[in-house]
């Protein structure tokens, strides 16, 4: 039972930390972040960023407090698949926002794929 709780808490911590940092960066997006040009041209786009990162934090808090049952583990897996797949499917938003591997610190794949391209491991 303790191992299942640790796994659930690790999932929760990931969502809270990365969702929270993304949320805070989204709130600053109008002025200082790489996506600020994109958001200035289409300010309604920030709603999706803020909602996704805010919901990640809320779900992370729920997972932290949850009993380690199978349904909560499936919920955690579904949330990670949804958020990760969204980042990959809509990758062009990162390209349009002119993200580089130095500026994309909130999601692991944001840092991995540009570095792999630079090292010629991954060609698109």
Q: pLDDT in tens for each of the 124 residues of the chain?
A: 799 999 999 999 999 999 999 888 877 765 565 566 666 667 777 788 888 999 999 999 999 999 999 999 999 999 999 999 998 998 887 777 666 554 444 444 444 455 545 544 444 4
Closest by CA position to 82, among listed 94, 93, 90:
90
Residue 95 to residue 93: CA distance in whole angstroms:
5
Residue 49 makes CB contacts below 8 A (sequence gap 6+) with 22, 26, 29, 35
DSSP 101: T
Residue 94 and residue 74: Cα distance in Å, rounded?
28
- Asked if 106 and 50 touch (Cβ cutoff 8 Å), the reply is no
Kindly list the domain boundaries of the chain, sorted by start residue.
2-89
pLDDT of residue 35: 60
């Amino acid at each position: 039972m303790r191992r299942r709780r640790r796994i659930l808490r690790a999932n929760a911590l990931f969502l809270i930390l990365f969702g929270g940092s993304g949320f805070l960066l989204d709130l600053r997006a109008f002025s200082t972040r790489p996506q600020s040009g994109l958001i200035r041209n289409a300010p309604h786009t920030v709603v999706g960023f803020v909602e996704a990162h805010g919901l990640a934090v809320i779900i992370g808090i729920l997972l932290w407090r949850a009993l380690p049952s199978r349904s909560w583990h499936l919920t955690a897996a579904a949330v990670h698949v949804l958020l990760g797949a969204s980042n990959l499917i809509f990758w062009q938003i990162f390209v349009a926002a002119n993200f580089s591997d130095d500026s994309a610190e909130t999601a692991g794949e944001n840092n991995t794929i540009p570095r792999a391209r630079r090292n010629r491991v991954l060609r698109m």
